[in-house]
Chain A
């Protein structure tokens, strides 16, 4: 009998991984994975939990809505539904950027609110083991502290994971 036959609790994925002689560290596939949508703002890397991002949109004409505070760019028509668009740069207190074709609008949902969020670019949608996510460091600026769920290393960058629920709820009440 080979080594796989002696293990009672293995999954098919584990068996196949052994058969393929997968290189690199063994990942416990039973460990919870967290899906992240990774994006860039002002050269810094951020992410939202994947279940909070319904869609990534590009090239949507934004209708500027008068009477809205800074950060609320306007609205877009997504297949008949009118969605607001937040400039995440403005909301997170980064300088405004010139129009850039790489910018995308994440259609996010949290705290029973749906809204678009403009980011500079979308880099990756990935699954990371829960154990790789670290607690927020103490060096996070005060205005971001309540929004940060944790950080994770990815492609040589530290990715800051943001709380979509808190962000949208705080913006709704004017706390951002």
Chain B
């Protein structure tokens, strides 16, 4: 089947970067920190996007499958959300082929043109941070 079951939902953590709304699967985020963490990386640097000056920051403790914790420095607003699985769409082939955003995996786009870009946390860092 190509469509998810009715009512299925995807738990995500939403945040902002470069003026756009992004999300990571919630199962890849262990916690959110309010203060800067020593081993962290700004999401804008990872994605190659400009940082929004003045935006409040939060630090997402990621579960990348290794032993060490790693934090992703993201811009507010940060929120846990449940996306209807049926709203999650594959990216068009030209976007897949030409995007420079690492780990861009899917998106949600409503009729009004508001979008949330879903990132695959496992592909954010290559090689994984140590």
A interface residues with partner B (beta carbon < 8 Å): 61-63, 65-69, 72, 75-77, 80-84, 86, 112-115, 168, 171-174
Q: Mark B25-53, 1 if CB is under 8 A from A, else 0.
A: 00000000000000000000001110000
Are the C-beta atoms of B97 and A173 separated by less than 8 Å? yes
- Smallest Cβ distance from A170 to chain B, in angstroms? 11
B1 at the interface (CB under 8 A from A): no
Are the C-beta atoms of B89 and A172 separated by less than 8 Å? no
Q: How many residues of B contact A (CB 8 A)?
A: 27
Are the C-beta atoms of B94 and A67 separated by less than 8 Å? no
Interface contacts (Cβ under 8 Å), in number, total 77
Residues of A within 8 A of B99 (CB): 65, 67-68
Residues of B within 8 A of A65 (CB): 95, 99, 115, 117
Are the C-beta atoms of A115 and B113 separated by less than 8 Å? no
- Smallest Cβ distance from A58 to chain B, in angstroms? 14
**If the complex has contacts A75-B92, A86-B94, A115-B94, are A67 and B101 also in contact, measured as CB distance less than 8 A?**
yes
B105 at the interface (CB under 8 A from A): no
- Smallest Cβ distance from A153 to chain B, in angstroms? 32
Partner of A82, one of B47, B91, B98, B112: B91
Residues of B within 8 A of A72 (CB): 94-95, 98
- Smallest Cβ distance from B95 to chain A, in angstroms? 5
B68 at the interface (CB under 8 A from A): no
Are the C-beta atoms of B98 and A69 separated by less than 8 Å? yes
Partner of A66, one of B47, B93, B98: B47
Partner of A68, one of B89, B95, B109: B95
- Smallest Cβ distance from B44 to chain A, in angstroms? 10
Q: List 13 A-B contacts (CB under 8 A).
A: A63-B113, A63-B114, A65-B95, A65-B99, A66-B20, A66-B49, A69-B100, A72-B98, A75-B107, A82-B91, A83-B92, A168-B94, A172-B97
Residues of A within 8 A of B47 (CB): 66-67
Are the C-beta atoms of B92 and A114 separated by less than 8 Å? yes
Residue of B nearest to A86 (CB): B94
Residue of A nearest to B113 (CB): A61
**If the complex has contacts A61-B113, A82-B109, are A66 and B101 also in contact, measured as CB distance less than 8 A?**
yes
B121 at the interface (CB under 8 A from A): no
Task: Determine the distance from Cα of A68 to Cα of B96 in the docked complex, in whole angstroms.
Answer: 10
Residue of B nearest to A171 (CB): B94
* 13 new A-B contacts at CB < 8 Å, known A68-B95, A82-B109: A63-B115, A66-B47, A66-B117, A67-B48, A68-B99, A68-B100, A69-B98, A72-B95, A75-B91, A75-B107, A77-B111, A82-B90, A172-B97
- Smallest Cβ distance from B17 to chain A, in angstroms? 9
